[in-house]
Amino acid sequence: MIEAIQRRVAARQEQDKQGGFTLIELMVVVMIIAILIGIAIPAFLGARGRAQDTAARSNVRNALSSATAVFSDNQEYFDTGDAATAGTMVNALVNEEPSLTFVPEGDPGSTAEKTISVRVASTNGTTNDTIYLAVLSKSGNCFFIRHINTPGIATSGSYQNKVSNVAANACDAAAADVPAAGWTIL
């Protein structure tokens, strides 16, 4: 009787040495990993889009800071005109913020998050006191900033707006008034 018990114990120990995972156990592990990946990928893609939008917004705000410095020095914004013409707003902005690329409105607009489309306008008919800036995020959103420097006007100050899913070359400061609704104070 004791010998039989010892043989059974030895046989079990021998079986344990040959052990491993069954096919069902391996499939359960693969299924769990697939579920975790299915949860993680959409969360990652959402975070990526938000990061691209944040980078574009940061660039357009830096452009606004540069434009404000130009206005402070000259008490008006220069005409956008041709980028090759000396004294234009585009050249003044390039001198203030060389890490960004500035293009005049309609030429062809912002095509990347470091390319800022610029438009200058006048609210009083004499002085260029309003600037529109537009930038295209890698996620396809176009961000606008409008800044009016004339005190006493009800809309003076900085405002921002966003247009989603913009086609290539469609993010242009010339179209800044198209999203008439939705402007919020910056």
Does 17 reside within a domain?
A: no
Does 46 reside within a domain?
A: yes
pLDDT exceeds cutoff 80 at 9? no
E strand intervals along the chain: 101-104, 115-121, 130-136, 142-148, 157-163, 184-185
Does 16 reside within a domain?
A: no
Nearest CA to 66 among 108, 101, 37, 95?
A: 95
pLDDT for res 72: 86
pLDDT for res 63: 92
The CB density around residue 30, as the number of other CB atoms within 10 Å, is 10
Does 165 reside within a domain?
A: yes
Confidence grade of residue 81 (pLDDT, cut at 50, 70, 90): low
Count Cβ neighbours within 10 Å for each residue of 61-87 and write b for 16 or more, e otherwise: bbbbebbbebbeeeebbbebeebeeee
pLDDT exceeds cutoff 60 at 86? no
Quote the CA–CA distance of 186 and 96 in Å, as a whole number: 21
Q: What is the average pLDDT value for the chain, to the nearest integer?
A: 82
Does 129 reside within a domain?
A: yes
The number of residues in the chain equals 186
Task: Give 110's DSSP letter.
Answer: B
Does 78 reside within a domain?
A: yes
pLDDT exceeds cutoff 70 at 16? no
Does 6 reside within a domain?
A: no
Looking at the 3D structure of the chain, how many domains does it have?
1
Does 173 reside within a domain?
A: yes
pLDDT for res 27: 93
Domain that residue 89 falls in:
41-185
